[in-house]
Amino acid sequence: MTAPKTKFFFFSGKGGVGKTSTASATAVYYANLGKKTLLVTTDPASNVADVFMQPIGHKITEISEITNLSAMEIDPVQATVEYRNRTLEPMRQILPPQILDVVEEELNSPCTEEIASFDRFIDFMESSDFDVIIFDTAPTGHTLRMLELPIDWAKHIKEAEQGSGQTCMGPVQLLQGAREKYERAISLMRDQDITTFVFVAHPEATPLNEMKRSSEELKRIGIIPSQLIINGILPPEVHSSPFFKKRSEMQQRYLEATEKELDILIKKVPLLNVEIRGKDALLRLGKILYDAQYVDPIFQKANGETTEQGKKHIISNPDATHIVLPAQGHKQRVMLFAGKGGVGKTSIACATAVWSALKGRKTLLVTTDPASHLSNVFEQPIEEQITVVEHIDNLHATRINPKKALAEYRDEIIADAKDKYSEDMVAVLTEQLDSPCTEEMASFHKFIQYMVGFEDQYEVVVFDTAPTGHTLRLLELPINWNKKMDAKEKGNIADKDAVIRARFETALTKMRDQNQTSMSFVVYPEATPILEAQRASEELRTVEIGTSLVVANLVLPLEHCNTPFLHSRWELQQRNLQEMKQRFGDAEILQLSMFEKEVVGLEMLKQAAIGLYGEI
């Protein structure tokens, strides 16, 4: 059991808001206090190594130049191998080969990877080797799934004990100890004397609204968030630019409203003039967060210094019509948008769908993101049923609801099984389908239906997918399922398996064909999201999915960068944009300039669409 001295911090929030930076700065701060500190990331799209500018990986690694600090990036694939071996090893000497084969097949379930990662995560919560352990968790929607996992698994194991004794990660007799382990983790996460849950957000409507929703969901499972870090606040000196003064005033309105609405400790962090990478930047950010006497120079009153008004920098994007609209000889184009959460991926996907619809193409916009916020962007409810987007022709939108997708998926499989198997076998299957991981498979099943089942209804289908690491796991599912089904060729493939296999193969073939599917990434013109998108792109290439488009969002307009701070930020972005062109040589690169206000509502979406793709 955890020693009383160990303190835990969980950082969460919409990806791209500085969650990893603030978690890393917190780790550096406590290490400098002499606390033995460990930073653990459970984010499938981890960039902790980028922040510390050194390799880390799936092992506890000492951070160079910082005494008392170690870090680890949990690798889901490696964690799964370790979990499987740890579970099987005690049985190899006592179970006959045929029984061992059954157990191994159980542990090849697609959900084993998620529970294996979380099992490794919980191991740290039972360690007494560190004074402070900080978890840089995955972006909000996936974080909530991860935090619910120990609760779900404890319940799942208990129910399986009373039924057939089978779970989707092995016979329940082998997992009885896990139930107590997961219940201890729940207790620790609910104890505010031991655990501090921190949200990070930008001073904008979408991330703050998402934070509030997520906070309520956490409270329902007994976890009380205690801190909110509002990151990226424009410093006072930008008020000499009318353009940035409007953005700053918008931020201040959100700050004031949040302070009135929430009873929570709020820490304010300015947008700095450097990227948060390396020891010096992390020490500076740590002082801003935790040293009450420290006032960063960037928060001090502007001295009125300005530079000469910049010349208007015209963004000239290449023609991307062939990437958005159906290719000659094809009925439909599928657009898949991925990227570090919080970079404006949903806004870009929505603007792309609006442009397609305004070009007269029947368009469907679909989100598979667990932290969906299409409703905020369109300023109207978007639910799981296909919805007509108001005030624009040719555009429909829908959201995959994981809970409803799960119910449909279970009903479809169980109905098929009842015609083929005994009541006892159907009961076992029903228990396995009640496992927490089935929800993700069900969501992907729905994703496939939209991808391959609407060619006659829609000419363009745009997917606003979940943040990068989670998206990769989602996109790899059909490949993993095909491998699993190939193993079943030794016997007869069930009718339902054959149908699912055909759907997956059709979808995979479509994703690999750049005449039918455009894989697209959205990034800020900053080093970390660019590196992350490049890694994701390279990983997709290993499964023969190429990248067609990369969008650099929130490019600073030079004509409004009339202070030393703003001009230095513009120069930093320009260097990163040049770097992008080298890193994504085969893809088209588009830029979208920052607007005075958020891209919310149809009129702003039209402006963004024209900025990206040209006049309608």
pLDDT of 567 over the 50 cut: yes
DSSP string, 452-464: HS-TTT-SEEEEE
Total Cβ atoms within 10 A of residue 37: 27
Higher-pLDDT residue of 533, 68: 68
Query: For the chain, what is the total number of helices (H) and then of strands (E)?
Result: 21, 18
> What strand order describes the sheet that includes 387-388?
387-388, 395-399, 363-367, 460-464, 333-338, 517-523, 547-555, 588-593
CATH for 7-296 is: 3.40.50.300
pTM: 0.77
Out of 3.40.50.720, 3.40.640.10, 3.40.50.300, 2.30.30.90, which CATH number does the structure's domain 321-558+582-613 have? 3.40.50.300
In this prediction, residue 203 carries a pLDDT of 92
In this prediction, residue 123 carries a pLDDT of 85
Say how far apart CA 276 and CA 48 lie, in whole Å. 11
pLDDT of 2 over the 50 cut: no
18: region left, alpha or beta (phi > 0 left; psi from -120 to 50 alpha): left
pLDDT band at 163 (very low <50, low <70, confident <90, very high): low
pLDDT band at 406 (very low <50, low <70, confident <90, very high): confident
Please check whether residue 335 is in contact with residue 520, taking contact to mean a CB–CB distance below 8 angstroms.
yes
What share of the chain has pLDDT > 70, as a percent? Answer: 78
Residue 169, classed as helix, strand or coil, is coil
pLDDT band at 92 (very low <50, low <70, confident <90, very high): confident
In this prediction, residue 282 carries a pLDDT of 96
Q: Looking at residues 532-536, what average pLDDT do you find?
A: 86
How confident is the model over 120-152, as pLDDT tens digits?
Answer: 878 888 888 999 999 987 545 555 555 566 556
The amino acid sitting at 314 is I
Instruction: For the chain, give every domain's residue range.
Output: 7-296, 321-558+582-613
Most confident among 25-29, 368-372, 449-453, 581-585 (mean pLDDT): 25-29
pLDDT of 204 over the 90 cut: no
Domains 7-296 and 321-558+582-613 share a fold: yes
> What strand order describes the sheet that includes 195-201?
61-62, 69-73, 37-41, 132-136, 7-12, 195-201, 227-233, 265-270
pLDDT of 170 over the 70 cut: no
In this prediction, residue 274 carries a pLDDT of 85
How confident is the model over 472-511, as pLDDT tens digits?
Answer: 555 555 555 455 444 444 444 455 556 766 777 888 889 9
Most confident among 82-91, 149-158, 445-454, 605-614 (mean pLDDT): 605-614
Say how far apart CA 15 and CA 47 lie, in whole Å. 11
Please check whether residue 45 is in contact with residue 537, taking contact to mean a CB–CB distance below 8 angstroms.
no
Say how far apart CA 338 and CA 463 lie, in whole Å. 9
In this prediction, residue 259 carries a pLDDT of 92
Q: How high is the mean pLDDT of the chain?
A: 82
In this prediction, residue 541 carries a pLDDT of 86
